[in-house]
Amino acid sequence: MKKRTFVIGAPLHVYFLARDGCVLFYRTTDRLSFYSVLAVLAKRFGVTVLGVSLMFTHVHLMVRVADLTQLRLFIGQLLKTFSRLLREDRGDTGPQFETPFGSAPKVSAKEQTSCLIYILNNPVEKKLCKKAVDDRWNFLAYYNSPFPFSQRLVKRNASIQLQKCCSLIDGESRAGRYLRPQLLRNLFAPLVKQEQEQLTDYLIGAYRFIDYDRVIKMFDTFDQLLLATEASSGKEFDVGEQYDPVSDIPYQEMLRLVSKAHLLDNWKLLHLGQEEQKQLARILKNETSASDRQIRKFLHLEDNGS
């Protein structure tokens, strides 16, 4: 195993992968739950977060810590906490993430800006959007707007149900408590689509923890940051990432199909019998652009190496 390195004062690129490279985030509420855990623990451990990208099978972070002990404690607790939430929610067993996680210090200003651009452009590289600012889960759009993906929420004009959701989120964030996936699904269930989008943006703002001011200073202005993400995708080779040039669009296609079939209800998708898995795998192969490997990752099946 490669020895973990650290340079005092230098931020680190951190990378971790879901177990066996399988899909980690199926629902918006999965990502929001992880985001809330990350926010709570970053504040608890005194970690400065400069960049985040939540991909289907893995996560990228750019963080600033005092030393390797702080990094190990923070990431260890982050993975332990979210793993427990997933096991409780999905009835899954065993580890949820590959270990050890990858990390690499970024010493020069050029290394730091290149790393952040790489992290922000992950969804572009995976063909999920044309520009980094168009993706919600790298949080770039929130550097400049509290409601980049929905109509601005004015609480006094919102429905009673949406107001209650906002109040609960305010209370939990102020108390330093993260949000469980099941709780979030219960909050979102009675809301119409427009309200769900507003609540998503509201929650991201309520748990806001990324040091946007420090990031902007790295590029002078927000507009310069946007131009930098559009001019280059950045390159990173030192965090042990399992590079896969294939598009992530098939995961979106498969999610639409299984959602329509209600297979995410009570996590039926992850508890199918062997014959049901084979039948669903054939359907996904015929009705989406997913490769056999992506289907295995989506269904959490053993990878035969092909």
Q: Does position 113 have pLDDT exceeding 70, yes or no?
A: yes
User: Whats the size of the chain, residue-wise?
Assistant: 306
Q: Dihedral of CA 31/177/13/95: which sign?
A: negative
Output the CATH code of domain 12-146+208-231.
Answer: 3.30.70.1290
Distance separating the N- and C-terminal Cα atoms of the chain? 25
Pairwise CA distance, residues 274 & 280, whole Å: 10
Q: Quick one: what percent of the chain has pLDDT higher than 90?
A: 91
Q: Tell me the per-residue pLDDT of 117-149, one tens digit each, with 9 for 90 and over.
A: 999 999 999 999 999 999 999 999 999 999 999
Q: Tell me the per-residue pLDDT of 67-88, one tens digit each, with 9 for 90 and over.
A: 999 999 999 999 999 999 999 9
Mean pLDDT value across residues 245-253: 94
pLDDT at 304: 58
If one counts every other C-beta atom within 10 angstroms of the C-beta of residue 25, the result is 21
pLDDT at 1: 46
Q: Domain ranges in the chain? A: 12-146+208-231, 155-206, 249-299
pTM tops 0.85: yes
